[in-house]
Amino acid sequence: MNRTILLLFFTLSAFIFFPSSPCFNQNLISIDSFIEGKMTEKQIPGLTIAILQNDKIIHKNAYGLSVIEHKVPAKMETIYELASLSKQFIAMGILILVEKEILKLDEPIESYLDTLPDKWKQLTLNQLLSHTAGLAPIDEEWKSLKKGSWPKLVTKEMLWSSSLEDSIFASPGEQFKYHNLGYSLALFIIEKVTGMDHRDFFQQRIFDKLGMSKTFFEDQIKVTPNQTQGYTLKNDEIVKIWRVGQEEIGVGDGIYSCIEDMIRWNAALNNYELLSPDIQNLMFGKVQLNDRTYFRYGLGWWLPNRNDIPFYYHNGVTGTEYLKIPSHDLDIIILSNLGQGEYDEVYYWGLAEEIVCQFFTEKFCHQPIPQAINVADLSHFTGTFEYEEGGEVEIYVKDDNLYLKDSYGEALMIYQGNQAFILEEEPVIFKFLNENRIRIIEETWNDDFANRIVKK
């Protein structure tokens, strides 16, 4: 399970006041000092930030090093790997074709792709983009390509052939399970119906139209000025991240960009420059499952709600974040070069939420309110459980409070009523379905489950 760690990175403030949106005044110098201090604490080599409100830039700056080895400073022009922020661009590409009536979101994809295996024929584009197609989750997809190590060059044929070997994990529309394969299939569909290479399609239909001159799909051979080096942590020390593979078609990621281009992208979203409002807003509607419940993901965007404040959010494993709060006309874009690698757990997200909490509205802060519970009843929730996604958690009573301990450490659990507890420092809810099973509801990730381990 990936426990969302908030209140982690660094905070930033707004310096321009807008009557319709609450802001707190802060001195620019103190903000820069604070960010640099947090970067040292968290070992973040370099990052670039933009904060916008009412479509006006209220703060942007670059900090640290883009390339440590050569002491290259991060700049506004520094190009970062967006990782899963690419998904919103792929969703936009599909919706452009939906608006032109070339594609339909709810049409089975067998209408667009030939030689599909039976297990894929009835999947829809809506299911592919909302992670509800029942496809293999991240850890299980493209297994044949992952044997040993990911190839340096992955052709379209290799990716397609490996995809066919992946299992279907659930019936389409039954549950949310985050994956990358659905977005790769979306790119195959774009190429099929347009007769264009997907790189040319996005260049012509999105990047060129918006003046995003420094945004492109990855090309590991091409020499790209101002491109950052990616880093991660190993034994608590900064090391290079191993991401040198070249895929001929994206695996749910693949786009590189800089903060200036992302500001242009943000303006295009806010002002409906590429799509009509009715079509674009499909990105921000929660997906409906077969049981008619809704899950907090749209098309390329997480759609959480923090203390009755709905917001749009996504992050990327390379150290990127993008948050939008429509009620505050607030947009925060964060690009950094510290991401998750193969070694230490790296908490590359959390900055955007902390900015909102500290400098825009305290209502956005994670401040759980305890509900009354008899101390004697806490023992009913104790025991050793196993996460279905891997790892164990021990839940126990200490100092008349309930705690859990897993690989992330110890955490206090605050009772919320109705057999549910929330972590004191994170918006992660543990809902006890019965004495043997817990549902773990994370704000911006898969829901997970934990089952009691019966000790012999």
Mean pLDDT across the chain, nearest whole number?
89
User: What band does 456 get if pLDDT is binned at 50, 70 and 90?
Assistant: very low
Question: What's the rounded mean pLDDT across residues 50-55?
Answer: 94
Full-model pTM: 0.90
pLDDT value for 123 = 96
pLDDT given at position 37: 78
Q: What tokens does 21 get? A: 């949106």
> Looking at residue 27, what is its pLDDT?
53
10 Å CB burial of residue 101 (0-12, 13-18, 19+) is exposed
Residue 421 pLDDT exceeds 90: yes
Beta-sheet pairing, 56-67 with 46-53: antiparallel
Query: What is the per-residue pLDDT for 8?
Result: 31
Q: Which of 97, 94, 123 is nearest to 109 (CA)?
A: 123
Under a CB-based contact definition with an 8 Å cutoff, are residues 443 and 431 in contact? no
| DSSP character string of 258-288 | -HHHHHHHHHHHHTTSSS-HHHHGGGGSPEE
CA distances from 361 to 52, 331, 370 (A): 15, 14, 21
CA separation for the pair 312, 300 (Å, rounded) = 10
Share of the chain above pLDDT 70, in %: 93
Enumerate domains of the chain plus CATH numbers: 1-365 (3.40.710.10), 375-452 (2.40.128.50)
- The residue assigned the tokens 């922020």 is 85
At 5 the pLDDT is 34
Q: Is the pLDDT of residue 445 over 90?
A: no
Rounded mean pLDDT of 43-64? 94
- Tell me the per-residue pLDDT of 120-156, one tens digit each, with 9 for 90 and over: 999 999 999 999 999 988 888 888 887 767 788 888 9
What tens digit of pLDDT does each residue of 235-259 get? 999 999 976 677 888 888 899 999 9
Q: Does residue 162 or residue 124 have the better pLDDT?
A: 124
